[in-house]
Structure 1
Amino acid sequence: MDRKQRMLQRIADREAIIGIVGLGYVGLPLAVAFAEEGFTVIGVDVDAGKVAALNRGRSYVEDVPDAVLEPLLAAGRLRASTDYADLAAADAISICVPTPLRKTKDPDISYIVDAADCLAAHMPPGGGQLIVLESTTYPGTTDEIVLPRFADNGMEVGRDFFMAFSPERIDPGRTDYTVRTTPKVIGGVTPDCLEVAVALYGTVVDQPVPVSSTATAEMVKLLENTFRAVNIGLVNEVALMCDKLGLNVWEVVGAAASKPYGFMPFYPGPGLGGHCIPIDPHYLSWKLRTLNYTARFIELAAEVNSHMPDYVVGKVADALNVERKAVNGSRILVLGAAYKRDVGDVRESPALDVIHLLRERGADVAYNDPHIATVRFDGYSLSSVELNEALLAAADCVVVVTDHSAYDWSWIVNHARLIVDARNAVKSGGTARVVRL
């Protein structure tokens, strides 16, 4: 029996040991999914605090409750470590590390490179492992950056070891689409690599979606999030147009959404946030610049979307001006610091920009978020304040940046004086004057 057949058999029998590199919003749910399916899972993360918490059965990811971790740990099907050497025994390893942008908006794939180097250094002498990159990156990364680190030792991909790319599609906070119910795109370096990867993910995903190459799979993920970024940029620009025309953009989008074909509603907001949409299109734009091509839609959408926090702050200034007040010295309460509803994630959150810009203008800014206790900026930090009637009444302006479902909007409208609503969360009819995006 050759290596591929042995791997397929171990996967089918749930005897394969699964390694997960990076135990964050993507890696931890994936590790749990494999462990729940009966595999033994070893997770590796450079954050010793996360590793210690997981081994105690304490989750820091909202989508993974402690009650889910505890039986898996007790059964010995899941454990965490900071040592890559523990993955030498793994049959298959998924790399789920961050891929942020540098300040220059160029891709930072240093986490991928570090993970690949460490895994290659601990690959068993006989090979046999499946290595899957899940981190979002530009087309060509798997074949050009990751693969050579494993092939340099004389082993042949597709025969001595297997490699694939399968982009993560985790959407934190969602309950309708989970690891199992979200289709999984998979591209292998060789046909045998693809077969092994599809067999592995097919144990925890209802619908594997095989594609012809790793670069195709990498491009699929970038298209998905570029599609969203460009359409959000379009509707944000429509919001600016409607403002100039004296129209309600929310009414316009809502009415357009009544068309049963040819239109998909996207909604304006204070800017893009999260670990994907504000970042992924720049990976594609950067790659195309190396080929002397300008991704014009991407760059224009990024320009519009990155301007939205300034636009929200301008709305606050105009609303206060009607009240004969300046931003400087005004007490402003920001509702929501997370990048989207009902998550405790501030990565790339536009709320941080809104808070920072208001403070730069001299405002006395406080924020409330039921999911985020503290936010940190360069040189200072803020803690979430308790939301009560006195706080609302004392605020010169309340700015709705994140529309958490825990907020009682009618109560807020009845106790605030002025609200600038960037999410169309607040209904009119209370005592507050409401200004919409």
Structure 2
Amino acid sequence: MSNDVVILGLGYVGLPLAQEAIKAGLTVLGYDVNAKVVDSLNAGRSHVDDLSDADIAQMLAGGFRATTDETEIASAKTAVICVPTPLSADGGPDLGAVDSATRAVARNLRPGMVVILESTTYPGTTDEYVRPILEAGGLTAGTDFHLAFSPERIDPGNKQYGPHNTPKVVGGHTEACTEAAAAFYGRFVATVVRTKGTREAETAKLLENTYRHINIALVNEMAKFCHHLGIDLWDVIKAASSKPFGFQAFYPGPGVGGHCIPIDPNYLSHNVRAKLGYPFRFVELAQEINATMPAYVARRAQNILNDAGKAINGASVLLLGVTYKPNIADKRESPATPLARALAGLGAKLSFHDPYVQHWDVPGVDAIRVDDLETAVAQADLVILVQKHQQYDADHLASIAQRFFDTRGATSGDDAVRL
């Protein structure tokens, strides 16, 4: 075997993992079914926010290479599956990419290999779904090869925590599998946390994101009634945050987005319904609340214009920031998309500005990108801060806008209406 690891799936999860392994001196092969991605990486071009072209060049200089040839998987001591698991039509995870990647590994499985699934999914996937595929060729997990689950914890745009200093949770099919996977990650991750098995590791990821999902829903619900009661929720959160124990601040917003918070808790809810026959009511209620926020923001926007004697039908509305989180270009599941649909449905004429996004396509909605930020802010009937990118001086923009709706608590003065 000529490679320490092959990483299947070279996106937001797999590529940073490959970079960290390269830094530690491991020989790393990247595998992806997308030939454009592979060719781009081999040419030194990055397609993810957290890695620059210079980062890819350093990886290539360190021996990294990407391929679409699955037979090369057999050259690796460890195979890590980092493919996406979007929601399927029934609300559970779509395991199509996991199935494809697992079968590619199975066709090239060698005795002694360590196979690790990182893709977020429901508890039991590693043991009940992945293991039978791998064992179909005659090798047995825990005896002939090692099998484990280790949830990805990549937080795009986070400058403080990356693959090296974010603790790595690992749970194996057997105790020996856990130790084999832990030994692999221990070569380039500072802290490895072992669980009792694969199900515990799978559920740990779902608990992390369900915790955030539910608490975001709590403050979103509070934002609605605080508005009606004339209470400044942002000031309330600031005051509550002064308590040095027993409280963690969460903040309201126009909705939740990204590849984790709006999706992962549904895996757990779906699994509970499918296997136990009853709903996971906390998760489903949180999903209901968070999913209503774009429509709620649109209604608030309509009311702001009404208070000024203007109809939203025909009004010019400028959206600032259309990505799902600040300071990155990732638009996956961004709340700006359903917000734009809601505003367009009310007759608003939409435009947008985002320093990270040149093209934004919302089917059925015409939203023109503006380049001159200050002129566009001054001319719009209503400006809505949807994402608080570091390039936006929210107080200044609010001061020059006719009307400014701050959904992120980024303003401090009286020039803006805050969520």
TM-score by length of 1: 0.93
Q: Are the structure 2 counterparts of residues 107 and 72 from structure 1 closer, same or farther at C-alpha, using a change threshold of 3 Å?
A: closer
Structure 1 partner of 2:92: 106
- 1:87 deviates by 1.1
Is 1:424 aligned to 2:418, yes or no?
A: no
1:269: Cα distance to partner? Answer: 0.6
Question: CA RMSD, aligned part only?
Answer: 1.5
Q: Distance in 1 between matches of 2:24 and 2:213?
A: 35
Specify the alignment match of 1:302 in structure 2: 287
2:122 alignment partner in structure 1: 138
AA partner of residue 19 (structure 1): V
Q: Identify the residue that residue 383 of structure 2 maps to in structure 1.
A: 398
Out of 364, 379, 386, the residue aligned to residue 349 of structure 2 is 364
Which residue pairs with 1:274 in the alignment?
Answer: 258
SS at match of 1:58: coil
List runs of 5+ in structure 1 lacking aligned partners: 1-9
Q: Could you give the per-residue CA deviations for residues 200-229 of structure 1, whole angstroms, max 9, x where no partner exists?
A: 000111000011100000000000000000
Match of 1:47 among 5, 22, 34: 34
- Is the Cα contact below 8 Å between 1:16 and 1:90 reproduced in 2? yes
What is residue 375 of structure 1 aligned with on the other side? 360
Match of 2:142 in 1: 158
Give the whole-Å Cα distance in 2 for the aligned partners of 1:16 and 1:191.
24
Q: Which residue of 2 aligns with 1:263?
A: 247
Counterpart of 2:408, as a letter, is: R
Letter in 1 for 2:417: V
Deviations 1:172-202 (A, max 9, x none): 0001111010000000001111111000000
Does residue 97 in structure 1 map to residue 83 in structure 2?
Answer: yes
Could you tell me whether the CA contact under 8 Å between 1:399 and 1:421 is conserved in 2? Answer: yes
- What SS class does the counterpart of residue 80 from structure 2 fall into? strand
- Does the 8 A contact of 1:186 with 1:210 survive in 2? yes
**Rounded Cα–Cα distance in structure 1 between residues aligned with 2:142 and 2:372:** 58
> Counterpart in 2 of 1:79?
65
Distance 1:321 1:114 in 2: 53
CA contact (8 A) 1:372 1:384 kept: no
1:184 to 155, 168, 182: 168
Q: For the structure 1 residues 122 and 384, does the alpha-carbon distance in structure 2 shift closer, same or farther, using more than 3 Å as the test?
A: farther
What percent identity do the matched residue pairs reach? 46
Deviation at 1:17, TM superposition (A): 2.2
Task: Pick one of 397, 400, 418 that aligns with 1:415.
Answer: 400
Which amino acid in 1 is paired with 2:231?
L
Q: Deviations over 1:350-401 (max 9, x none)?
A: 0111112111221110111111111222356756321333211210000001
Other-structure match for 2:17: 30
Given that residues 374 and 382 in structure 1 are in contact (C-alpha distance below 8 angstroms), is that contact kept between their aligned partners in structure 2? no
The letter of the residue matching 2:86 is P
SS at match of 1:328: coil
Q: Structure 2: any 5+ residue segments left out of the alignment?
A: none
**Alpha-carbon contact 1:21-1:45 (below 8 Å) kept:** yes
Please say if residues 341 and 365 of structure 2, whose CA atoms lie closer than 8 Å, have aligned partners that are also in contact.
no
1:435 aligns with 2:404: no
Q: Does the 8 Å CA contact 2:377/2:400 hold for their aligned counterparts? A: yes
CA deviations over 1:319-352 (Å, ceiling 9, x no partner): 0001111111111100000001111111111011
Q: How many residue pairs were aligned?
A: 418
Tell me, yes or no, if the aligned pair for 2:106 and 2:133 is still in contact at 8 Å.
yes
Contact 2:32 2:68 in 1 (8 A): yes
Q: 2:320 aligns with which of 335, 343, 354?
A: 335
Q: 1:147 aligns with which of 131, 134, 139?
A: 131
**Change over 3 Å in CA distance of 1:79–1:380 after alignment to 2:** farther
The residue matched to 2:169 in structure 1 has which SS?
strand
CA distance in 1, matches of 2:366, 2:205: 34
Q: Distance in 2 between matches of 1:366 and 1:294?
A: 40
Alignment counterpart, residue 288 of structure 1, candidates 254, 272, 285: 272
